[in-house]
Amino acid sequence: MSDNQLRLVWVYPDLLSTYGDQGNALVVERRARQRGLDVARLDVRSDQPIPTSGDIYLIGGGEDRPQRLAAERLRRDGHLYQAVQNGAIVFSVCAGYQILGHEFINDLGQREPGLGLLDVVSVRGEGERCVGDVLADIDPQLGLPQLTGFENHQGVTHVGPNARPFARVQIGKGNGTGDGTEGAYNGTVFGTYMHGPVLARNPLIADLLLKLALDVNALPPIDDRWYEALRGERIAAAQQPA
């Protein structure tokens, strides 16, 4: 952060916002403003260059062809990689999560190179599609409460040794590998399969992104009653027998 302004970048809303993940940008922006922060939010379409001066970059989910187009343009642009080298925070969901890895399977059935910002590789699952509510325990190192979200993906993502699983599932499939992992992170780069939007269901993840951007250990408290009501409702629904 510089000039006392938080710079929030929503990446490719024209390609990667299929499942309402733009709500993540709204949540981060609102929680920052509730704490008196000056926020500059930039929605960058796929025909525009990615700025390298952002503090937090958010990437959503998308269908197979838009995912391939997004990956091609992000590789060609190169600026998201440079932003991470500059210390930026990236939070990605589903297709965006796969794009941050080394490779994934595109809509043509081919191996598509990712950005290599996370040590993960995604392949096409051969079993049933992973669909439904998820409850998971976030890596204790992050100091966050239980993760709630909704998954809808065919991909299977393997986490390599240079990344950590973001969470361990209690209910749901997560990365789809059968090892109980969900998502991945390394340093300031995060990926998850969770929709919901995930930051509305898990506002303390949004606060973690803000703390990393501000380089602080704590934020002023705000009224979380609405978020907690939503969390309680969705956690209860996930725990209901099928």
Q: Could you list the residues known to form a binding site for substrate, using ranges.
A: 129
Instruction: For residue 94, indicate whether it is catalytic.
Output: yes
- Give all strands (DSSP E) within the chain, no chain letters: 5-11, 38-44, 56-59, 89-93, 103-105, 111-113, 120-124, 130-138, 147-153, 155-159, 167-171, 181-182, 184-186, 189-192
Annotated active-site residue in 79, 102, 153, 195: 195
Element (H, E) at 204: helix 203-214
Can you tell me which residue has the tokens 């997004």?
70
Annotated active-site residue in 94, 102, 130, 153: 94
Annotation: binding site: 129
Q: Using CA atoms, how far apart are residues 9 and 22, in angstroms rounded to an integer?
A: 11
Instruction: For residue 130, indicate whether it is catalytic.
Output: no
Beta strand 147-153 with 155-159: parallel, antiparallel or unpaired? unpaired
Task: Give catalytic residue positions.
Answer: 94, 195
